[in-house]
Amino acid sequence: EAGVAQSPRYKIIEKRQSVAFWCNPISGHATLYWYQQILGQGPKLLIQFQNNGVVDDSQLPKDRFSAERLKGVDSTLKIQPAKLEDSAVYLCASRRTSGSPGELFFGEGSRLTVL
């Protein structure tokens, strides 16, 4: 089966600019996650979707970050305006409905550098 697809793989922007990342999960996976991984740290959950509904967005900085999964398939994460501390790898992951809560399939990530 095809894996989790993410784009772009790399993005460099200046602070206060905006950026969007796209994720296409594995076909049939109802649960989709966006994680932020800052260099030297473990991934931190930003938002979790179940189909097109938000399950957990408690750690999403809602003043600048937004995410949507309109048709319950692919998803977009947006940052506007970006800050220097947003420099990180943004990981998308998906999980099959019958899978264990910790059994996630990750994409290769989108690396953001904010100058």
Could you report how far apart the first and last alpha carbons of the chain are, in Å? 37
101 contacts another protein (rule: CB under 8 A): yes
d(CA 101, CA 41): 21
Whichever of 55 and 84 has its CB closer to another protein, that residue is 55
Nearest approach, Cβ of residue 99 and another protein (Å): 10
Whichever of 82 and 93 has its CB closer to another protein, that residue is 93
98 contacts another protein (rule: CB under 8 A): no
85 contacts another protein (rule: CB under 8 A): no
37 contacts 78 by C-beta, under 8 angstroms: no
22 contacts another protein (rule: CB under 8 A): no
Residue-level length of the chain: 115
* 2's tokens: 């095809």
53 contacts another protein (rule: CB under 8 A): no
Rounded to 5°, angle at Cα 38 from 37 and 41: 85
The region of 11-19, 39-47, 60-68, 80-88 touching another protein under the rule CB under 8 A is: 39-47
107 contacts another protein (rule: CB under 8 A): yes
Q: Which residues bind another protein (CB under 8 A)?
A: 3-4, 40-45, 56, 91, 93, 100-109
